[in-house]
Amino acid sequence: MPGKLAVFASGSGTNFEAIAQACADGRLDAEVSLMVCDKPGAAVVARAERFGIPSFVFNPKDYASKGDYEREIIRRMDALGIDLVCLAGYMRIVSDVLLEAYGGRIINIHPSLLPAFRGSHAVEQAVEYGVKVYGITIHYVDGVLDGGRIIAQRAFEYDGNDPEEVHRIGQKIEHALYVETIAKLLKK
Ligand code: GAR
């Protein structure tokens, strides 16, 4: 049976699209059963529509607490029988509510070689620091920001000072590495 994925995103959704396309092409024996987005109007919402993938788009301000909207997400994921939760530019820390329900089955992609440059401006900070080797990390999600056990990393060299260029190079690697890593995890 193809693995059932939920992909969480807050913005552009290029990683979401890479995963959805790999499923559509048969390169990944899986289906994206749900896209979850905390930013109504984000570009990822239109991408999900183009793929015909059901989405849950919400505004956190409409809920009394993070636990409340996470319980709603869990209800929807349980109903679909989700195997693996892939955070792909989901710019929120997940709480114990989600971790208790799906802990060990939630992974995240981050645009640095962790544990260097955690947080939401990793590429800019790495360029500012002047590093020469950049990279991408996929890791399990626990209660610590960008902190869980590392599953995969891929490095690349760059000797310049343009964060946009690093983003461009890094995103190509992200798209390939995320698909490969999901495939390996679903086979386990
Ligand atoms: C990705 O580059 C991902 O590594 C980053 O957000 C971007 C989302 O791009 N995530 C983080 O910085 C997490 N701390 P996308 O919306 O085009 O997939």
Pocket probe for ligand 1: among 10, 36, 174, 179, the residue whose CB has the most ligand atoms within 8 Å is 174
Q: What is the mean pLDDT of residues 65-74?
A: 98
Euclidean distance between CA atoms 131 and 92, whole angstroms: 26
pLDDT tier at 159, thresholds 50, 70, 90: very high
Distance 84 CA to ligand 1 centre (A): 18
Among 40-49, 144-153, 158-167, which stretch is predicted with the lowest mean pLDDT? 144-153
Sign of CA dihedral 105, 5, 23, 157: negative
Among 95-104, 142-151, 164-173, which stretch is predicted with the lowest mean pLDDT? 142-151
Q: What is the mean pLDDT of residues 63-77?
A: 98
The model carries a pTM of 0.97
Percent of the residues in the chain that have a pLDDT greater than 70, as a whole number? 100
Does pLDDT of 7 surpass 90?
yes
Q: What is the mean pLDDT of residues 93-111?
A: 97
Does pLDDT of 50 surpass 90?
yes
Mean pLDDT of the chain: 97
Does pLDDT of 20 surpass 90?
yes
- Is the backbone of residue 117 left (phi > 0), alpha (psi -120 to 50) or beta? left
CB 9 within 8 A of CB 45: no
Q: What is the mean pLDDT of residues 1-14?
A: 96
Percent of the residues in the chain that have a pLDDT greater than 90, as a whole number? 96
Distance 174 CA to ligand 1 centre (A): 9
Pocket probe for ligand 1: among 8, 15, 150, the residue whose CB has the most ligand atoms within 8 Å is 15
**What's the confidence (pLDDT) of residue 146?**
87
Which tens digit of pLDDT belongs to each residue from 82-98? Answer: 999 999 999 999 999 99
**What's the confidence (pLDDT) of residue 1?**
80
Q: Which residues are catalytic?
A: 110
Closest ligand 1 atom to Cα of 9: 16
Give the residue whose CA is nearest to atom 17 of ligand 1: 14
Closest ligand 1 atom to Cα of 145: 14
Distance 122 CA to ligand 1 centre (A): 10
Give the residue whose CA is nearest to atom 8 of ligand 1: 89
Euclidean distance between CA atoms 19 and 88, whole angstroms: 10
Q: What are the helix and strand counts (H, E) for the chain?
A: 6, 7
Domains parsed from the chain with CATH numbers: 3-187 (3.40.50.170)
Q: What is the mean pLDDT of residues 91-108?
A: 96
